[in-house]
Structure 1
């Protein structure tokens, strides 16, 4: 749009708006968006974006506020259980990755986990984020959940007691890293809806079956717009 802006009839204000939007996308949003599906880098990526937006407030308060408000709605997933993904983020400082492992090892590894809701972080618009060291603050005893869920044998944890540069040579780290990198990221409700349709589209190849399936999904959503008690009573 910025490249073609001279070919459109625009007011000076509209032209400034297009330039401002293009600059924001080029400097901040595009790189973050393109990397957003990489599961292992998600915690660091999102915190870095949050940190950059707080710096960007000095340049463009209005745009930064919209971006920060959006990130606030997104960071609910960043819990003790998920922060250990950063261990497998090869773009992160090795010292920090080792620090996360050291802090994780300071908590006894549970054999089982009681069912329950994760402990969600509490962030406000003016919360101070010290990126990337903030990741260490999220590590806790429930950060073992990923490793316990994979039912790994003891030798698969040997890499935790070595230096970061050796991790990629050790089978336990490579095994867990391969599993983590195979995970897919689905960010929000709108994206989940798109993924639902995409999955069904790939499974059902017959056009008439696709059409029928879409009608069933639409009918279901019309009858059950939420999963609260009042809606579920109609089941």
Structure 2
């Protein structure tokens, strides 16, 4: 995201920079895409129950994006990360207060649909057809009940569990893939070159991750007070 912010700043001050026209066009494409479309979804990426609806709406918005080349490239990129439209995790949308009761009712009705033969961790983006008429309930099957089974001991129909505050809190406490993945990528980029041996590299990453969890505020005072 830091590079994106930098691109937006460069676009805002383009008249003060001597950049080739080709680079200016590229920066403008990035700035417009982020400002008009992506920023809302990025800000809400840490909210687990928002993920299915946001992913679907982002796919639909990309279909309608005025710059078709950018829209197509964005669709290809997002199609590699459709964890939350899978049969298992689509159930997070049951806890999204923005989803109307009528749509949740259709989702509940679709819990009797047969599950797909392959239990995919994420929806296969290849060949996926999303239009403005695609709805969340279309991704729901009997496998979607699994989320409820994993997060609560209550053996009841999901309809009776939607008001369970303890279950809602468990859902809200879930780690979102995007955030965890970005943190892991940032970590490996920073320390990948520190050692050459793969075993030592993995050990180093675990040590760094542990120390970061022990000292979340990496101020001089906090680091000085830390002891093994």
TM norm structure 1: 0.66
Q: Which residue of 2 aligns with 1:22?
A: 31
Query: Residue 44 of structure 1 contacts residue 132 of structure 1 at CA under 8 Å; is this kept in 2?
Result: no
Shift of 1:99: 1.7
2:89 to 63, 74, 82: 82
Q: Which residue of 1 aligns with 2:143?
A: 142
Corresponding pairs, count: 190
RMSD across aligned C-alpha pairs, in angstroms?
A: 3.4
Q: Which residue of 2 aligns with 1:228?
A: none
1:22 match: secondary structure: helix
1:192 to 174, 184, 198: 184
Q: Which residue of 2 aligns with 1:71?
A: 78
Please list every run of 5 or more consecutive structure 2 residues that lacks an aligned counterpart in the other structure.
1-8, 188-205, 216-221
Check 1:121–1:15 CA distance in 2 against 1; reply closer, same or farther (3 A cut).
Answer: closer
Query: Residue 96 of structure 1 contacts residue 133 of structure 1 at CA under 8 Å; is this kept in 2?
Result: no
Query: Residue 186 of structure 1 contacts residue 192 of structure 1 at CA under 8 Å; is this kept in 2?
Result: no
1:179 to 170, 179, 190: 170
1:167-190 deviations in Å (ceiling 9; x for gaps): 6xx4x2x22111101112122744
Query: Residue 113 of structure 2 contacts residue 140 of structure 2 at CA under 8 Å; is this kept in 1?
Result: no
Query: Residue 148 of structure 2 contacts residue 158 of structure 2 at CA under 8 Å; is this kept in 1?
Result: no
Shift of 1:46: 0.9
Alpha-carbon separation, structure 2, partners of 1:76 and 1:46 = 9
Question: What are the residue-to-residue correspondences of 1:136-175 with 2, within 5 Å?
Answer: 136-154=137-155, 159=160, 170=163, 172=164, 174-175=165-166
Q: Which residue of 2 aligns with 1:223?
A: none
1:52 to 57, 61, 78: 61
1:6 to 15, 39, 46: 15
Please list every run of 5 or more consecutive structure 1 residues that lacks an aligned counterpart in the other structure.
109-115, 161-166, 211-235
Shift of 1:132: 6.9
1:73 match: secondary structure: coil
Q: Do structure 1's residue 124 and structure 2's residue 133 form an aligned pair?
A: no
Query: Residue 51 of structure 1 contacts residue 129 of structure 1 at CA under 8 Å; is this kept in 2?
Result: yes
Alpha-carbon separation, structure 2, partners of 1:80 and 1:24 = 29
Q: Which residue of 1 aligns with 2:196?
A: none
Alpha-carbon separation, structure 1, partners of 2:19 and 2:82 = 37
Alpha-carbon separation, structure 2, partners of 1:102 and 1:202 = 43
